[in-house]
Each structure stands twice: as structure tokens, then as C-alpha cells.
Structure 1
Amino acid sequence: MIQTVSTTPFNDQKPGTSGLRKKVKVFAQPHYAENFVQSVFDSLEGFAGQTLVVGGDGRYLNREVIQIVLKMAAANGFGRVLVGQGGILSTPAASHLIRASGAFGGLVLSASHNPGGPDEDFGIKYNVGNGGPAPEKVTDAIHARTLTIDQYRILDAADVDLDHIGTSRMGDMLVEVVDPVTGYADLMEQLFDFGAIRAMIAGGFTLAFDSMSAVTGPYAVEIFERRLGAPVGTVMNGTPLPDFGHHHPDPNLVHAKELYDKMMAVDAPDFGAASDGDGDRNLIIGRHCYVTPSDSLAVLAANAHLAPGYKAGLKGIARSMPTSGAADRVAEKLGVALYETPTGWKFFGNLLDAGMATICGEESAGTGSDHVREKDGIWAVLLWLNIVAARQQSVAAIMADHWATYGRNYYARHDYEAIATDRADALMAALRGKIDSLAGTGNSGGTISAADDFAYTDPTDGSVSRNQGVRILFEDGSRVVFRLSGTGTQGATLRVYIERYMAPDGDLNLATGDALAPLVAAAQELADIRGYTGMDAPSVIT
């Protein structure tokens, strides 16, 4: 029986770049999740009888909200729902399932790299039929509906058994609990030379993959240990846990320190990698050699032709504006277009759908290609392994060769987390107020050549996205970028991106901190970060 439940709006349900993210206790409020899900459905047209994909990263509240989604999907007229066994679907696997099944769209339950647990974070994101995050016109419509919603529809029915593969009915809707891993693993085997990677591992090549007690554990075990023959135990922290084992599932050098220490040890494996809470980010570390996400994007693009799925070459490369310019030089040498977009994978989706780009990446450890419409952590790891197998070189040797060819972009991101929102907004407002007067002035970073507030005109549909980050450009090609992040759940996060380019004939072996020190000082001088935030140092440096 369908129930129509009266409700009142919540005023804090505006989706960010990756859906709605809040603390678990916020989502657990009566009607909170239901209001948002109904607002999503109310903002869509033409889904009657269609297929919806549902799954998440296994974090706390995942199973409970999936049951709510199933009952609401049935009450709102969907004909079929595909849900991952155990409620599990990595974000890239969900994208693939949406595309492979011809689904109308999907709801991905995740807060990505944010911590999980009863006092931590939860999230819901709607993906459209191409498998990618909803574009701004859809998320804007969802937000508008959350402010006026007065009722939601839900089926009065028993919960679905999520732990066993099979089909059942929920009212008039078919519910299919599906294997969340095999279809995705099969896709990876089509794209990459598993035979060459398998032979490399059989020959003694060693690797370590840290799933961070998050969603990629089952995927990594199936691909790296079963299909590629890596020894049992290659996958670290491979069991998804609702609280991610009390760890922060963000694959950076702070939160993946166990892996970093392993890769810097005397007896380090040849290759190390990690992925995050929902499986869309990656960390790449060779033996004694950390690879920045910006450099990783450039290396993957320069060598993608070595993998079977990309042997025909690239149509184009896209990067988010804060990502370093390393990929720009690769695009120039390959003779393909380079697109600089705002942060958020949905901007890449239009380029991929239009056949204008093949590989995309963000400095926040997200890289992917046109095989799905999300960034994909395991995909990036497999492409790296394919390149290592084809070139028969270590990660360190590949990086040295890349810098000798293209030059090196020394790069770091400084995150100032949990800032009072009004203080963060005031800092950015002050920066924007001085943009027009900065050109020609000098500071510790050198002479400023230009400054702007990045705006993007989408070449596929003409849509314009403004106020995407303040860029300070220096005469020597260096730059500092200031941007507020939309992925946190508490206060605001100020991200400061610092970049210095060194040509191939320059010093390519500086310590990153030493290379960037003048620009770090310049960032403080430009934005008075200490004065606005009260923080003497960043929360995290990556």
C-alpha cells in the first residue's frame, strides 16, 4: 500500500558538487532522507516503469537509507531497481551499471572520502542516465523542490533481503539484487592487458593496495588477487566497514600513512596504491616515489596508448582548473585538445558524452576516462600497472623520464578545514575585491601578471559557471589558486593550490616544499589566511 506522508521542508538540502552530504545524525532525523529522495523524484520526468540503480559505499546508515529508497521508488512508479548485493556499489561501478543496464539514473549513497560512523558523514547523490553526476540544472531543481516539499510517497512493505542475489517484488516494482563486482571487473579486463600485468606479477613484481576498509575491498580482491594473481594479502584493509575501521578513507599522504610508510621502507613493494571511501579516488606511490595526482594524470595521458582500450589514442584531455598544468604539455605534444573545467566530475561528463575528451583528472586524486562517467580509482591503478608492464620501468624511472621530456610542475594543495563559513566567505570576498588591482604588483612569489575569478563556458551546451576560484598568475608561470570546497559537512574548507613550473633543463629534483616556499608565503600575503581563519598552518597538505 502506498502511503502519502505529510512533511515540512528542511532549509539545508542544497546539493554540492557531489550531492547532499551531512552528518549521519542529520540524515537520521525523521523525514530528512525521505524529503530529499522525494525531491529528487519530483524533479525528474519520464521515469515511470524505468530502471533505477541504487547502491553505496557501505558506510553507516547505508542499508537503512537503501530500504527507504526502494520503498519510495516503488511508490513513485519506477518499474525496476538494481541494487548492489549487501547495498554495495562503488561509485564507478554504479556508473557502469547505469550505463550497461540502460537505467534511467541512479542514487549513489556515499560521502566519498569523508569519514563514516554514527557521528560522521553520509551522503546521497543522483546520477543521470549517462552514469554521471546530475548537471547543475538538475541539482538546482532538486534544491528548489526541497524548499517547498509538503509530502512524500512511500510503500508500506517489508524490507528487501540485500544479502542474497536474486529478484523479488516490492508492490509493482521488480527489485534485483545484483553482483556489484563482476560486471565492473569484466570491463577492466576489456580495457587493460591483464595478461601482461599477470606475467609481470608472476615474475616477481610486488604491489600493495590499501582499500582503507572501504568499498573497493571486494573489487580489489577480485581483480588484483584473483584475476591478476597477486598473493593473498596484497589488498590491505579489504573488508568494507560501516565506520571504515575508524579511519579517514581519503587516499592522501596523511590518511594513507600506513601505505606510505610501507612504500618508503627499505623492503618496499614495487608499486603501491589506495582508493577512497566510494572507490572513485586513487593514490599512486612507487617504491620510494610518491606521484602527485596532477602528475599521475599527465603520465596516464602520455602513456594511455600502451593499454588495449586506448591504443587508438586520445580525443582530448580534460582537467579541473586547480589541477596543475602538467597535462597541458602532454596534450600539446599529442596534438589533442586540453579542456580546463571547474571542479566537479559532472563538467567532464559533457565533454566525454560529446566525444571531445577521453581522459580526465582532478588534483584531488580523481582520474578516469570515457569508460564510465565518474572518476575511477581502480581504473587508474590498472592503467599504471599496464604502463609499468609495457615499459618495463619502475614508477620512479617513468616519472624521471616524464619530467625530462615535459618539465616538472611542482605542486601542492593546502587545506584549511572546518573554518567558520562567514570567515571563509569574507576571505574570498576580500580576494575578489582586489583582483583588478593585482596585475603588475609583487610579493614573495614574484611579479603578478594577471588575476581573475575563474569562469567556464561549457563548449558542448554554452552553459556558464562563474566564481569557480580566484587565480593569481605570476610572470614566471607560477600560480596560486584559492577556492572553497563543496565536499565537507562542517563549516568551510579553504583550498589553496600552489604551483611552480620548471622546464626540462631546470632543477627537476628539488624538494616540493623548498620549490614552493616563496609561493606559500605569497598566498599568506595575498589572502591573510592566518587573520581570517586563526590557523597558523593547513589542516592537510597534499
Structure 2
Amino acid sequence: MTHQFHPTVLREYDIRGIIGETLGAEDARAIGRGFGTLIARAGGKKVAVGYDGRVSSPMLEHALVEGLNASGVDVRRVGMGPTPMLYYAEASAEEVDGGIQITGSHNPANYNGFKMVFRGRPFFGADILKLGEMAAAGDWDDGVGGVEDVDILDAYIDRLLEGLDGIDPQVLSGLKVGWDAGNGAAGPALEKLAARLPGEHHLLFTEVDGEFPNHHPDPTVEENLADLRKLVSVKSLDFGVAFDGDGDRIGAIDGEGRVIWGDQLLMIYAEDLLRVSPGVTIIADVKASRALFDHVSVCGGTPLMWKTGHSLIKSKMKEVSSPLAGEMSGHVFFADTYYGFDDALYAGIRLIAAAARLGKSVTELRGAMPAMLNTPEMRFQVDESRKFAAIDEVKKRLANSTDEVNSTDGVRVTNDDGWWLLRASNTQDVLVARAESDSQEGLDRLLAQIDEQLGLSGLERGPQAGH
């Protein structure tokens, strides 16, 4: 038996495709065969499996479990829930050797995919390509595995609530928070969590619906926060929190309706953490604001700029023993008193905790941040064969620049006007650009520099590409 995956499905950070076109049950079975074989060859025996609320998820889960079992691996099925609940199932049980979540994350409703953990570490890049090679060669172990169904939701909620340990519930009794689950997989967990939190909590769209009837569940796109903003305004709430489709990315707004972007949330978390752990390394991706890196330094921490991509950030955290990291995309990773994976529900709890410990409202914390002018993430189509080559050309041209040039992930250039970034997406045929300044004139000059570099490589900032 061999299997060929559609060439677009095996990606850098995860496995993703369009149901009925590029991804189906046979692919899920082959992923189970390959992953199960690798777990068994590494001396493992049990894999936890969960899935999100998409219409196609139960079908993929059934086939995945069959594939894992056929390679001699036992499966612990934790059912429908957010991706971080599956990560929790893998991290909290010694006898579990790996985990797979079936999820389309923030993609359109007809997409689905897989996120994986292998013996406590992210499974990505070369690992994912290896599944393709094994499938093409039929390089799978044969065996018989068992299946157990385990309900871990309550245990997971208990663990989330530990994020408020040491805070007097009386201090939080007047708190008023809005939450938007976006009809994603975090809804039922959010209902149970909110019922146990001190204060007043208003919930939107907790009913799981894989068609996402109210708005698309990507909290980094401002228009998707409109319902939450209205709720916070009408009910005079302290702040609002939103989740993506599988509950691993957070979005937030303050009491005045201002968005708190991923790097701004990290400023709050860092300030809170650095009071008790001065000097630690805090990681953010290359798209993050200079204000964040400056703030970490001012608060006594060591800022580290790293590559975009949740798997890359998690790996770097382990390498440098960082207790906190985050991305512009809303992935936040806590490894101080948590497991180091991205969990938007836990990040919501930690936002409540940080404000309480810092003795300031979320609105005050947001209001104190420097007013930077920055572009949204600009994404434009570039042929797959050109995207990395173009970035290399830019690097060569800037080799002797008087500006500060950082090539951690693409090119990030810092000068008196601020900074600009140009990088190739690992998951799509697009280039990503971003710029930040403290004046409009400065921002215009930075954008002109981006356009100049693109022009020299025969490219231009074309029509915006979607995610």
C-alpha cells in the first residue's frame, strides 16, 4: 500500500487542504499510518486525537484513528474541542507520546487540516515532508492498536483557572468581560470557563458551527471584531477577547473599542511576568512593533526577535528557555507556569491576571502604549519560484547599507524613520510587507524603500492576497 498526497497539502507548519478537492479520508488514514509508525519507531505507544467544529472533522478523525491503529498505536480520543485542549491532553499525561488535532484553524469552512505534537515537541517542516515520503514508499509499520474515549474538558478548565492562582477573587468581582468564540471549537470550553470565573461575563457565538454564520473566526482581522466591539460598548465592559476557529489564537479590544494587537498583548504579559522573573528572554516574531522590543528592555527583560511561525517560535523557546513568546497573528506561548503551547483561552485568563497584578485596567494598559503608525500586514502574490529569490536579492543589495538590517526571517530594516519588513510566506506564494514609524512622513518614506527594493527585483506591491 502506498499513498500520494496532493502537492499543496503538506506545508511548513501543518497539513492543510480543501475537502473533496485536495484532502480527504485516504489522506487522513495515510497521515495516521505515517505518524503512528514514527511514534512506534521512537518507542512510543499512545497518541491523543482531537478535532474542531468543522463539518468534515469527524470524517477525517475516523480515518486518522484507523491509520494510527493500523500502525500498532493506541489512540486516546478526546473529542471535539479547541486545539490547546488536545495539546493539554498530550502535555499533561505521561503515557501519551504524541497528539494530532484535526483543524482548519482560521481558513474558510471548506478547508481542514492537522496540527501535530511529537513527544512534546512541534512536528513541522522536515517532519511533515517525511510523512509524504513514507506514504509514497508505503514505509509503514503494521500492527493493531486500541481506542479509548476520554473526556478531559473539566480537567482542562481546572488547569486554565490555575492562571488566576494567588489573585484575590474579591479583586476580580467587579470585572466585566466580553468573549467571542466565533462559532469555533472553543465555544463549549469557554462556556464552562466563564461560568467559573469571578465577575460578569458576556459570551458571543459559543455554539459550534463549522459554517461560521456570524463572522469569519480570525481575530487578527479588525472587521471580525465588530460584534465584540459592539458588545463591549453596549454593556460598558472592561475589555473583550476573541478566538480563532480552533482556539489557539487570541484577539482583544479594550474598553474603548481599541484593538490590542498581538504584539501589544505581549507587552502586557511581559510587563506582568518580568516583575517576578527579571532578565528572562521574551521572544516575538519579526512582524512585531519596535515598541514591544523596547518595552521588554525597559521592564528588565531580554527581547529576542525570531522567525514567524508557531512551530518555529515554540522550538526557539525550548532552545533558549524562554518563559514567554508571541506573534502578531495572536499566538501567545506561556512556559512560566504553563506548558509552552499557544492557548487563547489561557491567554484570556492571563490578561485578566496581568491587569489585576499590575493594578491597572486593560484600557489603561492599552492607553499607555506609544502611538505608532503602522501598516497592516500587506500580502501580495509572487510566483513560488520567485518569492525566496527576491528576498535574497534584497539582502544582497542592502549588504553595505548604513541602516540596521536584520535577516532573521526575510529582511527587516531599521533606520531613523522606523522599520520596514519584507519576507516570504512559508505557507503561500506571497510576499509579506509591513512598516512602522512615529510619523506619516516617516511611514511614507519607509513604504517608498519597500517599493524601491521590489522594483529593483522586477516586482511591485500588487493586489492584496488573502490568507
The Cα shift of 1:274 comes to 0.3
Query: What are structure 2's unaligned runs of at least 5 residues?
Result: none
The Cα shift of 1:73 comes to 1.8
The Cα shift of 1:359 comes to 0.5
Match of 2:331 among 363, 366, 374: 366
User: 1:106–1:127: 8 Å Cα contact kept in structure 2?
Assistant: yes
Matched, 1:96 2:95: no
User: 1:22–1:122: 8 Å Cα contact kept in structure 2?
Assistant: yes
User: 1:294–1:324: 8 Å Cα contact kept in structure 2?
Assistant: yes
User: 1:90–1:278: 8 Å Cα contact kept in structure 2?
Assistant: yes
Give, in whole Å, the separation in 2 of the partners of 1:258 and 1:514: 34
Matched, 1:66 2:61: yes
**Between 428-437 and 62-71, the greater mean CA deviation after superposition:** 428-437
Matched, 1:470 2:411: yes
The Cα shift of 1:178 comes to 2.1
Match of 1:274 among 238, 242, 257: 242
Q: Report the residue type matching 2:179 in the other structure.
A: F
Deviation string, structure 1 residues 429-480 (Cα, Å, up to 9, x no partner) = 3343243224677xxxxxx61446x34xxxxxxxxxxxx3233x14216222
Map of 2:153 onto structure 1: 181
CA distance 1:536–1:353, shift in 2 (3 Å): closer
Map of 1:464 onto structure 2: none
Matched, 1:21 2:21: no
Map of 1:166 onto structure 2: none
Give, in whole Å, the separation in 2 of the partners of 1:23 and 1:246: 22
CA distance 1:536–1:305, shift in 2 (3 Å): closer
Q: Report the residue type matching 1:19 in the other structure.
A: D
> SS state of the match for residue 26, structure 1?
coil
Taking only aligned residues, the RMSD between alpha carbons, in angstroms, comes to 3.3
Q: Report the residue type matching 1:482 in the other structure.
A: L
Give, in whole Å, the separation in 1 of the partners of 2:142 and 2:236: 53
User: 1:317–1:360: 8 Å Cα contact kept in structure 2?
Assistant: yes
User: 1:436–1:451: 8 Å Cα contact kept in structure 2?
Assistant: no
Give, in whole Å, the separation in 2 of the partners of 1:257 and 1:494: 28
**Between 326-335 and 54-63, the greater mean CA deviation after superposition:** 326-335
User: 1:415–1:493: 8 Å Cα contact kept in structure 2?
Assistant: no
CA distance 1:527–1:372, shift in 2 (3 Å): same
- TM-score, normalised on structure 2? 0.87
Map of 1:526 onto structure 2: 453
Matched, 1:492 2:439: no
User: 2:418–2:442: 8 Å Cα contact kept in structure 1?
Assistant: no
Matched, 1:333 2:305: no
The Cα shift of 1:13 comes to 5.9
Matched, 1:323 2:249: no
Give, in whole Å, the separation in 1 of the partners of 2:37 and 2:460: 40
**Between 355-364 and 208-217, the greater mean CA deviation after superposition:** 355-364
Give, in whole Å, the separation in 2 of the partners of 1:515 and 1:238: 43
Give, in whole Å, the separation in 2 of the partners of 1:514 and 1:377: 36
Q: Report the residue type matching 1:240 in the other structure.
A: V
CA distance 1:68–1:287, shift in 2 (3 Å): same
Mapping of 1:28-107 within 5 angstroms?
A: 28-29=23-24, 31-46=26-41, 50-78=45-73, 80-84=74-78, 87-102=79-94, 103-107=96-100
> SS state of the match for residue 413, structure 1?
coil
> SS state of the match for residue 380, structure 1?
helix
Matched, 1:393 2:360: yes
Identity %: 20
Matched, 1:202 2:169: no
CA distance 1:244–1:201, shift in 2 (3 Å): farther
> SS state of the match for residue 243, structure 1?
coil
Give, in whole Å, the separation in 2 of the partners of 1:17 and 1:267: 42
> SS state of the match for residue 81, structure 1?
strand
Q: Report the residue type matching 2:10 in the other structure.
A: P
CA distance 1:367–1:486, shift in 2 (3 Å): same
Give, in whole Å, the separation in 2 of the partners of 1:51 and 1:40: 11
User: 1:27–1:122: 8 Å Cα contact kept in structure 2?
Assistant: no
Map of 2:312 onto structure 1: 347
Equivalent pairs counted in the alignment come to: 462
Query: What are structure 1's unaligned runs of at least 5 residues?
Result: 1-5, 156-170, 442-447, 456-467, 503-509
User: 1:14–1:20: 8 Å Cα contact kept in structure 2?
Assistant: yes
CA distance 1:180–1:313, shift in 2 (3 Å): farther
Q: Report the residue type matching 2:356 in the other structure.
A: A
Map of 1:436 onto structure 2: 396
